[in-house]
Structure 1
Amino acid sequence: MSILSKLSFKDQAFRLREDAILDATTRILAVKGFDLMTIDDIAAEVGISKPSLYKHFKSKEELVGAVMTRLIDEAGAQLASLDAGLSALQQLQALLEWALRVRLGGGLPFLPSTSAHVREMLMKNLLYVGKVIKLNSQLEKRVRQAKAAGELRADLPDDVILFSYYARSCDPTVEYLRLYSKMGDEDIVRYMLDVSFQGMLATK
């Protein structure tokens, strides 16, 4: 039995509306970014009044923190759901593939990479920071395992690999390819994964 099914009808409606608010915020953030997005935009997208929205979230900052925290939760759940038989490198590849697909679907607003104000705001959100640290630790473990298995270069520092990995999930190349190339999303994901893990040098 799901958690939602255990709630009263009123609580279920509240939870569903909250999810709708977070979904709308994610879509608008992906298009407008934090500075241009307004509470009016979100309320209009969901089809509710601003007072109703404020019953769920007290400010735009709190709302964005909830969106980013949910995103980290989804990434952690995706990582946990991967086949245990996959190698560490295959798990890293699978998670990046998931992130690219979510991003192409408009569900991955990587705000910290584009706004110093948002980074500072999120760093004050202890729930978000705690979840980021946990996910980073899980990915760092897989990087070390992949290096030990000879799947990743042992001479590269872990941080170089990790931050390069994170950068791929918010690389503007994805948008450029969608706008200016004739590639479909499947090709974009495939080529981004190839460049991320195989590089651009021709094999000898």
Structure 2
Amino acid sequence: MGIFNKLSFKDQAFKLREDAILDAATRMLASKGFDLMTMDDVALEVGISKPSLYKHFKSKEDLVGEALIRLIDGAIEHLGQMPATLTPLQRLSDLLEWALRVRLGGGLPFLPSTSAHVRDMLTRNLRYVARVLKLHQQLKALVRQAKAAGQLDAALPDDVILFSYYARTCDPSVDYLRLYSQLDDEAIVASMLRVCFDGLR
């Protein structure tokens, strides 16, 4: 907030518009996906001209990259603000709960797409890759600590646990439960956490 206060009025307006653009892009990505989303859609959603949009982001790829960087930054920040008293497993559960709530609120999952084009685009975005690696290393450390404490199955490879964990943030079960079950969002989050950490047995 202090940094924001130091910005000039013009810079504050620019930053607010950029945040609005990223919010709109996030909603579009969540509802339409990368391939169907257009810069025209985003400009219309924000209520600005397309040339104004391009003052902030030079391409759809650039815009999507920034939206996903913001998501990962949010996860890293949430992880860093957790109480020191939480166990490794509680930290993993707390972050997954945060991610599920972000998604149910119209946000994006940790794994944005199975599209080869999107994966290649993100791989070329060095800022995104750096953020993802930072979060991945933090979560891998928590997985190893949880395994050492007997909170996770030590026989499972770290990557199996981690990628299963990431997949929960984009599990289509969340959408189906919202559409066809009588569960509210609180019950959906609680159920998804239970399935992730306790299984179906």
TM category, shorter: over 0.9
Tell me: CA distance 1:111–1:160, structure 2 relative to 1, closer, same or farther (3 Å). Answer: closer
Q: How does 1:51-200 map to 2 (within 5 A)?
A: 51-109=51-109, 112-200=112-200
> Do the aligned partners of 1:110 and 1:170 also contact (CA within 8 Å) in 2?
yes
**Deviation string, structure 1 residues 40-60 (Cα, Å, up to 9, x no partner):** 110011000000000000000
Distance 2:193 2:109 in 1: 19
For 2:51, give the aligned amino acid: P
Tell me: CA distance 1:111–1:37, structure 2 relative to 1, closer, same or farther (3 Å). Answer: farther
For 1:117, give the aligned amino acid: H
Q: Where in structure 1 are there 5+ consecutive unaligned residues?
A: none
Q: Does 1:43 align with 2:43?
A: yes
Using the size of structure 1 for normalisation, the TM-score is 0.96
Distance 1:4 1:122 in 2: 28
Q: SS at the partner of 1:113?
A: coil
Q: Which residue of 2 aligns with 1:12?
A: 12
Q: SS at the partner of 1:114?
A: coil
For 2:7, give the aligned amino acid: L
Q: SS at the partner of 1:55?
A: helix
Q: SS at the partner of 2:194?
A: helix
Distance 1:137 1:90 in 2: 17
Q: Where in structure 2 are there 5+ consecutive unaligned residues?
A: none
Distance 2:46 2:55 in 1: 14
For 1:178, give the aligned amino acid: R
Q: SS at the partner of 1:36?
A: coil
Aligned pair count reads: 201
Runs of 4+ in 1 over 6 A off after TM superposition: none
Q: Quote how far apart the aligned CAs of 1:79 are.
A: 0.5
Q: Quote how far apart the aligned CAs of 1:114 are.
A: 2.9
Tell me: CA distance 1:110–1:83, structure 2 relative to 1, closer, same or farther (3 Å). Answer: closer
For 2:169, give the aligned amino acid: S
For 1:7, give the aligned amino acid: L
After TM superposition, the structure 1 stretch with the greater mean CA deviation from structure 2, 104-113 or 57-66, is: 104-113
**Deviation string, structure 1 residues 27-85 (Cα, Å, up to 9, x no partner):** 01100001110111100110000000000000000000000111100000010011110
Once the two structures are aligned, what percentage of the paired residues are identical? 71
For 2:85, give the aligned amino acid: G
